[in-house]
Structure 1
């Protein structure tokens, strides 16, 4: 919603200000289809040329995600912390029973209680692999933390491919606008024998290319790329919460303290409150 409002505000202020200042919208509208064909077509072609098929397939869903916002909400972080709380308690009280849950998470009663978490293969894999490693005596907290940091860094690198590709396209758009403007100037020079009023319109149409390149780059594409990077950064923090709780568990801290460490790792606007989390944990203890 805010993304659509931002685009509407940007477009209305730019073109509205131009019209109120006495500019002729008709000049822009006349040149717009041809300039957009040159700039947009060249940008799309360059984007296809410079990116792999997997990135191209992810682009449209990623654009939708930029407007929808983070996948993980505050309730999801609370569910994750409750899941980790139960697994850590089980790891300390009955390691043999824990193996049944981490070897087959899809059939685990603990995992299945949190359908949104279990739907994320990467999150489930990180949890199961780390707990499995600990059961095999690979439980040095510092080594495990380093391993998880590298694994999350690889996930982040993959998740940031589309934002970086969009930013690269934004960086190229002003230059493509200049290409369109130069072509317009070439066209104008071919009609140099025309009267000044005709040449003026042709030069104005040529400059529309420069305007569109800069406007699309800094008014639309770059902000969308930045928004997508921010959204994915919030989602990636979900894995940092997992890492924090599991590493705290390997340090043999109390289970409640491990969960609190994870809660404080979550982004502030997605962090469940202390009271809400404590209430949820009490319900789990009561049901056990």
Structure 2
């Protein structure tokens, strides 16, 4: 489970709850069915109006990603994979790689190498792989946009809820006690709208964008690796080329690990 999401949600609810208590407000004030209806159902209605149903069907899966980030091939694993494939290609030839495709877990690497083995030229292979990256990026963009829009609608609906509450409060001008309760209830909608918009929906959209960026960068690494093998580059040259995708602090450790493996392999 993604720890930062759990910690963030916990701190968010704790901050609002503790803040209300410190200000002397009752937590029971948050239980306002009318405000909850306006914010939750209103936000859902706005999102339904903004996006087609086939895109909204993916929302449960997107929420699951926030709590459990999908397994993505790491950058170091990509480097190791292409160094191994380059070594085999140099010793046995590109066609011999076909017998090793089943052992490759990442489908994007497997697809790229199959295109190379099938004899596609470099421009054709690059075009197909980049089209797949674009399609993936666009799908991720739409998923994040759903939550971005929800985060935009919710605070505005909070203002709408406050207006509705104030209209009800104006009907109780003769009863001071009811008037006070009505005004307090009116601003609960604003609180819920701002909270859901800026503590839930916008941060969820941001996290989805970051996960997408990470996956896209790894796919771009894979394209570079596939084209390098097709061009007949050496394992060391491929390593140097792909190491630029790693943070500087990790490059030295990666080189040392590969040197140890080479030493053990020749021993």
Q: TM-score, normalised by structure 2?
A: 0.83
Unaligned runs of 5+ in 2: none
Is 1:139 equivalent to 2:122 in the alignment?
Answer: yes
Partner of residue 26, structure 1: 28
Is 1:127 equivalent to 2:113 in the alignment?
Answer: yes
Among candidates 141, 144, 153, match of residue 172 of structure 1: 153
Question: Which of 271-280 and 172-181 deviates more?
Answer: 271-280
Partner of residue 214, structure 2: 234
Q: Pick closer, same or farther for the CA change 1:152–1:270 going to 2, 3 Å.
A: farther
Q: Pick closer, same or farther for the CA change 1:167–1:127 going to 2, 3 Å.
A: farther
| 1:181 positional shift | 1.5
| 1:278 positional shift | 4.5
Q: Pick closer, same or farther for the CA change 1:71–1:54 going to 2, 3 Å.
A: farther
How many residues get paired? 263
Q: Pick closer, same or farther for the CA change 1:206–1:268 going to 2, 3 Å.
A: farther
| 1:41 positional shift | 0.7
SS of 1:167's equivalent in the other structure is helix
Runs of 4+ in 1 over 6 A off after TM superposition: 267-272
- 2:82 and 2:235 in contact (8 A); partners too: no
Aligned partners of 1:225, 1:269: CA distance in 2, in Å?
Answer: 29
Give RMSD over aligned pairs: 3.0
Q: Pick closer, same or farther for the CA change 1:282–1:69 going to 2, 3 Å.
A: farther
Q: TM-score, normalised by structure 1?
A: 0.78
Unaligned runs of 5+ in 1: 102-107
Partner of residue 235, structure 2: 255
SS of 1:273's equivalent in the other structure is helix
